[in-house]
Amino acid sequence: MRLVRLVDDMASKATGSQVLFLGQIAGLLANHVVSAEHQVELLSRRVAELEAGRLIYLGPHESGRTYERGSVVTHGGSMWHCDLGTDTRPPGDCWTLAVKGAR
């Protein structure tokens, strides 16, 4: 916004066609600033969404326990990510192999 203020200040000291030209530049700069602020807002929301969905390690898989999306467990020497809430054990449709254990 400092650049927009600088152009506005220059326009206040300009004459004739300079005023029109500098006014157009100020308008273009203001549009770009608004666009950049919008992009920052979108990225901030995405970062918050990603941070809220972080992985939660819950230790070895326990039969009968319900796991929420984002849960991570170990089972059979491997680490598994829960893609959908489930009470099943990995492997399965609700699980993705994250780290394959050594055999």
Question: Nearest Cα to 22, choosing from 9, 34, 7?
Answer: 7
pLDDT exceeds cutoff 80 at 94: yes
Q: So what's the pLDDT on residue 10?
A: 73
Mean pLDDT score of the chain, rounded to an integer? 87
pLDDT exceeds cutoff 80 at 101: yes
For the ranges 3-7, 36-40, 80-84, 94-98, which has the lowest average pLDDT? 3-7
Instruction: Enumerate the domain spans of the chain.
Output: 2-52, 56-99
pLDDT exceeds cutoff 80 at 53: no
From the candidate CATH numbers 1.10.357.10, 3.40.47.10, 2.10.10.90, 2.30.42.10, the one assigned to the domain spanning 56-99: 2.10.10.90
Q: What is the dihedral of CA 43, 44, 47, 53, to 10 degrees?
A: -120
Q: So what's the pLDDT on residue 93?
A: 96
Q: What is the dihedral of CA 16, 34, 31, 15, to 10 degrees?
A: 10
Mean local confidence (pLDDT), 60-80: 95
Q: Give me the percent of the chain exceeding a pLDDT of 70.
A: 93
Question: Nearest Cα to 52, choosing from 69, 40, 74?
Answer: 69
